[in-house]
Amino acid sequence: MEQMSNDFMIKKLTDAKTHFERALDCKHTEFDDLYPYMVEHPQFFWYKRYVAWSELLTIVKLAEELGHEWRDQFLEHQKDYIAKRVMSSRVLDEWYETNDSKEHVDKIG
């Protein structure tokens, strides 16, 4: 079996991180397209964030198992949240260093 390239894994990490951050910011993601009827329900945004968080943790776990470095893609406190694996209100509230440091997500949106 061919080993995944580091560039491929970095892209997947970046995509998963962006997906999670877009979900945090209540921006459009692929999940909205899968469940368009859910937008009307209050629990939708919580569930959308949970799905994106699970995806991020899965990609990080895969990177670790394949021996790829993933930590360079995240800030120190984000690495700590990922290591703890639990999506808490603190993760949701403090993922960004400051409230106005979402520029990379804004560029995409």
Domain assignment present for residue 106? The answer is: no
Model confidence pLDDT, tens digit, residues 44-76: 888 999 999 999 999 999 999 999 999 999 999
Q: Residue 45: what pLDDT?
A: 86
Number of structural domains in the chain:
1
Confidence of residue 106 (pLDDT cuts 50, 70, 90): low
Domain assignment present for residue 109? The answer is: no
Domain assignment present for residue 66? The answer is: yes
Model confidence pLDDT, tens digit, residues 2-53: 456 889 999 999 999 999 999 999 898 888 888 888 878 878 888 999 999 9
Cα 103 from Cα 80, distance rounded (Å)? 22
Task: Give me the domain span that covers residue 52.
Answer: 6-101
Cα 91 from Cα 88, distance rounded (Å)? 5
Q: Please name the helix (run of DSSP H) or strand (run of DSSP E) that holds residue 32, with its range, or none.
A: helix 30-34
Task: Report the interhelical angle of 6-24 vs 44-65 (nearest 10°).
Answer: 160
